[in-house]
């Protein structure tokens, strides 16, 4: 049975009343108050510029006065399997698992079992999508994501044999063994996102390395590849931290300060402040979306009359990107790939990609889920717990499921599809 279709109204407040009440009771009203914008503003855009970064770094170092040590109580260096460099690996074997023929049959049997129960698609779970021989491998993959390298691609699924609704069920069924809770992905309350780039200025440039802000694990299924390009890239946030701790500990102070203004793109409040880097329970979490901090030059400009980034913040944001690029690992993409990325310990991006003549038959198409495992998740500081609750624990917002991509809406500024509206 196809996933249930539950429509919900466009929600203009950034926080629902229940989430706001919950956090006002715990932290007071200050978290939801925002000072008037201050006259500050570094020149920084969505796409990182190496020359501007180098010039800004030189100016700030020449001015002096930067911290020489990491913040008190923070580690001088992180160790463990999550702290890797792309050059540590010759191929992608450490990040790929290929399905056996038996496991493919088992997936089809699980799909039939689920459909025989006549449940709604969003009710898929480990219990009603049984994978008796594949499940132990998925358990090891789950451990690898939360405590190991932080990423894994399951390869070999034949996406063309399934209807769109059945493919969603298969994706939900397999991903439920990594994390069973799924989150709202945008202000329209979609639970599954169709990633189809319809703007040349979006697809024909690389996607800067970032996190998806609000999930333990980012899960994608590649329904169709682009004709050329579009490889995924990942980098360890722990390796980025180690590089900063060894060479520019002052930027750790900047990243950890809770004064980064995040754009809510027309909602109320118009922005909120929080840090990008957190230290809790012996782990470091880097959490940021560049678009929320800089806007997108053509598709989604930064909202007017809200604070811009400072010079120190602009340098720190670009430093993270360029360190990540130096340490990144490229992951080839194949049709049918199901990829899981630890969104707390890794950043990710993609290369530019191109399709023949813009034909619909050659459009790159990914399905995306935001996942939460209540047992495996790292300890979240309050600021991150707030945004996790907005996506995974807001009983005022009803999720909706679309097994097929919706028809693009006209952009408000002229022809062409509307840019996707972010959740955070």
Residue from 194, 210, 199, 106 nearest 154 by CA: 106
**Alpha-carbon distance 201 to 45, whole Å?**
14
166-170, 395-399, 416-420: which has the minimum mean pLDDT? 416-420
Place of tokens 């990914």: 366
pLDDT of residue 421: 45
CATH fold label, 17-27+43-417:
Double-stranded beta-helix (3.60.130)
Tell me the pLDDT band of 284, cut-offs 50, 70 and 90. Answer: very high
- Is it the case that residue 95 has pLDDT exceeding 70? yes
Share of the chain above pLDDT 90, in %: 63
pLDDT of residue 43: 84
- Is it the case that residue 46 has pLDDT exceeding 70? yes
pLDDT of residue 122: 80
Pair 366, 275: CB distance under 8 Å: no
- Coil, helix or strand for 399? coil
Residue from 192, 216, 235 nearest 350 by CA: 235
- Do strands 96-98 and 151-155 pair parallel, antiparallel, or not at all (unpaired)? parallel
Cβ burial, residue 68 (10 Å; 0-12/13-18/19+): exposed
Tell me the pLDDT band of 48, cut-offs 50, 70 and 90. Answer: very high
Q: What is the pLDDT of residues 237-246, one digit of tens each?
A: 999 999 999 9
Q: What is the pLDDT of residues 164-223, one digit of tens each?
A: 999 999 999 999 999 999 999 887 888 899 887 655 445 455 678 999 989 999 999 999
**Alpha-carbon distance 240 to 260, whole Å?**
19
Domain boundaries along the sequence of the chain: 17-27+43-417
**Alpha-carbon distance 63 to 58, whole Å?**
9
**Overall pTM > 0.85:** yes
- Is it the case that residue 423 has pLDDT exceeding 90? no
Q: What is the pLDDT of residues 51-75, one digit of tens each?
A: 999 999 999 999 999 999 999 999 9
- CA 172, 234, 312, 281 dihedral sign is positive
**Bond into 269 cis (ω within 30):** yes
Q: Chain centroid to CA 217: how far?
A: 8
How many of the other CB atoms lie within 10 Å of CB of 51? 7
- Is it the case that residue 354 has pLDDT exceeding 70? no
pLDDT of residue 406: 62
**Alpha-carbon distance 63 to 65, whole Å?**
7
Pair 124, 176: CB distance under 8 Å: yes
pLDDT of residue 26: 63
- What is the arithmetic mean of pLDDT over 218-231? 79
Q: What is the pLDDT of residues 257-277, one digit of tens each?
A: 999 999 999 888 899 999 999
Pair 150, 346: CB distance under 8 Å: yes
pLDDT of residue 58: 97
- Is it the case that residue 404 has pLDDT exceeding 90? no
Q: Chain centroid to CA 179: how far?
A: 15
**Alpha-carbon distance 159 to 335, whole Å?**
7
Average pLDDT of the chain is: 85
How many of the other CB atoms lie within 10 Å of CB of 196? 18
Q: What is the pLDDT of residues 114-149, one digit of tens each?
A: 999 988 878 999 999 999 999 999 999 999 999 999
- What is the arithmetic mean of pLDDT over 101-121? 94
- What is the arithmetic mean of pLDDT over 419-424? 46
């Amino acid at each position: 049975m196809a996933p249930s279709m539950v429509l919900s109204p466009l929600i203009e407040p950034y926080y629902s009343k229940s989430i706001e009440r919950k956090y006002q009771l715990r932290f007071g009203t200050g978290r939801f108050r925002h000072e008037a914008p201050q006259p500050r503003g570094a020149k920084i855009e969505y796409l990182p510029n190496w020359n501007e970064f180098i010039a800004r770094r030189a100016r700030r170092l020449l001015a002096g006065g930067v911290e020489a040590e990491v913040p008190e109580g923070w580690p001088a260096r992180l160790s463990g399997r999550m702290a890797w460099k792309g050059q540590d690996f010759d191929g992608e074997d450490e990040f790929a698992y290929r399905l056996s023929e038996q496991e493919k049959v088992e997936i089809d049997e699980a799909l039939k079992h689920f459909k025989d129960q006549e449940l709604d698609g969003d009710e898929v779970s480990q219990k009603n999508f049984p994978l008796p021989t594949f499940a132990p491998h998925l358990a090891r993959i789950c451990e690898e994501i939360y405590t190991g390298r932080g990423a894994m691609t399951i390869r070999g699924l034949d996406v063309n044999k399934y209807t769109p609704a059945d493919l969603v069920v298969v994706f939900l069924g397999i991903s439920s063994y990594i994390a069973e809770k799924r989150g709202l992905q945008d202000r329209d309350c979609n639970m599954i996102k169709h990633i189809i780039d319809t703007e040349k200025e979006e697809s024909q440039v690389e996607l800067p390395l970032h996190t998806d802000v609000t999930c333990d694990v980012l899960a994608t299924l590649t329904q169709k590849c682009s004709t050329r390009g579009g490889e995924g890239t990942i980098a360890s946030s722990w390796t980025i931290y180690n590089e900063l701790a060894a060479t520019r500990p002052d930027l750790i102070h900047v990243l950890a300060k809770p004064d980064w203004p995040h754009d809510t793109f027309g909602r109320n409040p118009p922005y909120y402040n929080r840090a990008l880097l957190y230290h809790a329970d012996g782990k470091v979490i880097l959490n940021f979306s560049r678009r929320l901090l800089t806007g997108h030059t053509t598709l989604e400009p930064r909202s007017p009359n809200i604070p811009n980034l400072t010079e120190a913040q602009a340098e720190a944001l670009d430093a993270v990107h360029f360190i990540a690029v130096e340490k990144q690992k490229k992951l080839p993409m194949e049709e049918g790939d199901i990829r899981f990325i630890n969104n707390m310990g890794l950043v990710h991006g993609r290369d530019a990609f191109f399709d023949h003549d813009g034909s619909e038959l050659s459009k790159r198409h990914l399905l995306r889920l935001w996942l939460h495992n209540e047992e495996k998740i790292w300890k979240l500081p309050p600021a991150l717990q707030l945004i996790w609750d907005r996506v995974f624990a807001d009983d005022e917002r009803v999720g909706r499921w679309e097994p097929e991509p919706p028809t693009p809406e006209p952009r408000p500024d002229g022809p062409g599809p509307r840019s996707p509206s972010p959740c955070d």
